[in-house]
């Protein structure tokens, strides 16, 4: 698995795949300078080689991992609405907080 498309293709349930596609597309539009990467079988966004946010799929939810300084992990149930404003604020915080950082993790 090398791309977000590869990751999405492995999700067998169309409604779950669509929800992740919405999240990824939103973040790509809002933060176009971020790079898409697959590491540890998880799609993640990075900025100048440093981790910003990652996602993983579970039976009942999407796990969102923005790193401990922001919040260690939270879940979006498949039946929940996506709080795009919250995602935007977390990503914006990590981008600002990690400016000039030259390592992947904090």
pTM above 0.85, yes or no: yes
Number of domains in the chain: 1
Determine the pLDDT at residue 69: 56
Determine the pLDDT at residue 42: 94
Question: What's the whole-number average pLDDT of the chain?
Answer: 92
More confident residue, 69 or 4: 4
Residue 102 lies in a domain: no
Domain that holds residue 24: 4-97
Q: What mean pLDDT comes out for the span 15-44? A: 97
Residue 54 lies in a domain: yes
pLDDT tens-place string over residues 30-79: 999 999 999 999 999 999 999 999 999 999 999 999 876 555 678 899 99
Measured CA to CA, the distance from residue 40 to residue 90 in angstroms comes to 21
Concatenated DSSP letters for 47-103? ETTEEEEEEEE-SSEEEEE--TTT-S-EEEETTSPP-HHHHHHHHHHHHHHTTT--S
Confidence of residue 103 (pLDDT cuts 50, 70, 90): confident
Measured CA to CA, the distance from residue 62 to residue 100 in angstroms comes to 30
Residue 105 lies in a domain: no
CATH number of the domain where residue 47 is located = 3.90.1150.200
């Amino acid at each position: 698995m090398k791309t977000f498309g590869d990751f999405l293709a492995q999700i067998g349930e169309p409604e779950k795949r669509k929800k992740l596609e919405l999240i990824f597309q939103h973040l790509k539009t809002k933060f176009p300078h971020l790079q898409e990467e697959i590491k540890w079988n998880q799609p993640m966004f990075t900025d100048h080689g440093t981790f910003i946010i990652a996602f993983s799929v579970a039976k009942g939810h999407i796990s969102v991992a923005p790193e401990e300084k922001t919040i260690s992990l939270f879940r979006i149930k498949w039946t929940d609405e996506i709080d795009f404003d919250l995602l935007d604020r977390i990503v914006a915080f990590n981008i600002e907080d990690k400016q000039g950082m030259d390592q992947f993790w904090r």
